[in-house]
Copies of this chain bind each other. A is one copy, B any other.
Amino acid sequence: VTNITLALDAMGGDRAPTMVLRGADIALERHPEARFLLFGDEARIAPLLAKLPRLAKATTLQHTDEVVLDDAKPSLALRTGRKSSMRLAIDAVADGRADGVVSAGNTGALMAMAKFALKTLPGIDRPAIATLFPTRRGESVVLDLGANIECDAENLVQFAVMGDVFARTVLGLPQPLVGLLNVGSEDLKGNDAVRGAGARLRGDSPIRFYGFVEGDDIAAGTVDVIVTDGFTGNVTVKAIEGVAKLFGESLRDSFRYSLSARIGYVFARGALKKLAARLDPRRYNGAMFLGLAGIAVKSHGSTDAFGFANAIGVAIDLKVGGVLPKIIDELARLNAARTHEPSGGVVTASI
């Protein structure tokens, strides 16, 4: 096992830097080969590191006072945040000192800086944000979660390629099943972008394409990869998170509803805790910025050390699994398939 070095934005996230350091310590327990470059306020980080001797040994700290604020506009952060903990962590990947970056800070700023400093992979027009989601059958990949508000057919096809590689790398699936999110399963449903991407993926392509899927197919686990534009993906994933929270709270309220329900909870506690653990959002923390010429993982800002450790785990899996060369390789296969297929352009169906 070779060493893997990750650059961590120690100042990003609601409970940073404590959450970041404790998370790195948990990740180190699972991946003893990991090494960390930490970027942030030495006065706050050094005392924490002193209490985590195992982490301290695996870590190099680089001080900076500057931080990207949570409500900073991406364009402003890009122009003025060159000495921020987030940017310095990204730069460490750009100049080869680190194999990937993990931050729980401002998503828009992280994307803008990562795009600028790391560049996109050859053949990729726009990066996308991907995450894992619990389903009835296990876990699925969903992308894009908000990097691209408007997408054309070609963007969606590229997302399909990237999502396929993500599922092979992180879920270990030999040939993931890929679906395009739409309002119905028939070929003529949807807007031009979705219909065009569907026509292209149904043609000669290295992707194992299922066809169109609908909203309820996400939780059902009908496919391994759900491809959609960033507007729909962002709204849908947040809507699902909101409903999951409502269910959890309603269930808790139910068990407080009567003495009998409280007694019931005592007996059912073990089984309910197993369920809660499987659906725990911290388990699915760590959204990958796919399509960049470098590994960049975004953690939820509100997560804790356990969740942050999982985001670090995603970055390690992506590096070990060779996600970047695999995306380049699969794009080449997609383009080769297209040149063998004279009718491979966008097909815009009319209703």
**Closest beta carbon of chain B to A133's beta carbon, Å:** 10
Is the Cβ of A260 less than 8 Å from the Cβ of B264? Answer: no
A244 in the interface (beta carbon within 8 A): yes
Is the Cβ of A239 less than 8 Å from the Cβ of B215? Answer: yes
- Of B243, B250, B251, B253, which contacts A240 at CB under 8 A? B243
Which B residues are in CB contact (< 8 Å) with A65?
none
Q: Which of A84-92, A96-104, A268-276, A310-318 contacts B (4 or more CB under 8 A)?
A: A268-276
Is the Cβ of A271 less than 8 Å from the Cβ of B267? Answer: no
Which B residues are in CB contact (< 8 Å) with A181?
235
Which B residues are in CB contact (< 8 Å) with A269?
264
Is the Cβ of A214 less than 8 Å from the Cβ of B238? Answer: yes
| Separation of A271 and B268 alpha carbons in the complex (Å) | 14
Is the Cβ of B244 less than 8 Å from the Cβ of A247? Answer: yes
Is the Cβ of B274 less than 8 Å from the Cβ of A267? Answer: no
Q: Which of A49-57, A216-224, A286-294, A325-333 contacts B (4 or more CB under 8 A)?
A: A216-224
A136 in the interface (beta carbon within 8 A): yes
Is the Cβ of A235 less than 8 Å from the Cβ of B215? Answer: yes
Is the Cβ of B242 less than 8 Å from the Cβ of A239? Answer: no
**Closest beta carbon of chain B to A303's beta carbon, Å:** 15
- Of B150, B219, B234, which contacts A243 at CB under 8 A? B219
**Closest beta carbon of chain B to A235's beta carbon, Å:** 4
Is the Cβ of B271 less than 8 Å from the Cβ of A231? Answer: no
Specify which of A247, A254, A268 lies most central, judged by the most chain B CB atoms within 10 Å of its CB.
A268
Is the Cβ of B261 less than 8 Å from the Cβ of A270? Answer: yes
A190 in the interface (beta carbon within 8 A): yes
Given contacts A242-B216, A243-B244, A254-B275, contact A231 B264 (CB under 8 A): no
A191 in the interface (beta carbon within 8 A): yes
Which B residues are in CB contact (< 8 Å) with A146?
183
- Of B182, B220, B254, which contacts A271 at CB under 8 A? B254
**Closest beta carbon of chain B to A20's beta carbon, Å:** 24
Which B residues are in CB contact (< 8 Å) with A125?
none
A245 in the interface (beta carbon within 8 A): yes
Is the Cβ of A268 less than 8 Å from the Cβ of B239? Answer: no
- Closest B residue by C-beta to A134: B246
Which B residues are in CB contact (< 8 Å) with A260?
267-268, 270-271
Is the Cβ of B244 less than 8 Å from the Cβ of A272? Answer: no
Is the Cβ of A231 less than 8 Å from the Cβ of B136? Answer: no
Specify which of A135, A182, A191, A234 lies most central, judged by the most chain B CB atoms within 10 Å of its CB.
A234
Which B residues are in CB contact (< 8 Å) with A265?
264, 268
| Separation of A232 and B232 alpha carbons in the complex (Å) | 6
Which B residues are in CB contact (< 8 Å) with A251?
251, 275
- Of B216, B253, B255, B266, which contacts A239 at CB under 8 A? B216
- Of B150, B214, B220, B268, which contacts A255 at CB under 8 A? B268
Q: Which residues of A contact B (CB under 8 A)?
A: 75, 135-136, 146, 149-150, 181-183, 190-191, 214-220, 228, 230-232, 234-247, 249-251, 253-255, 257-258, 260-261, 263-272, 274-275, 278-279, 351
Q: Which 10 pairs across A and B sit closest by C-beta, in order of nearness?
A: A264-B268, A215-B238, A264-B267, A216-B242, A215-B239, A219-B242, A261-B271, A257-B271, A219-B246, A254-B271
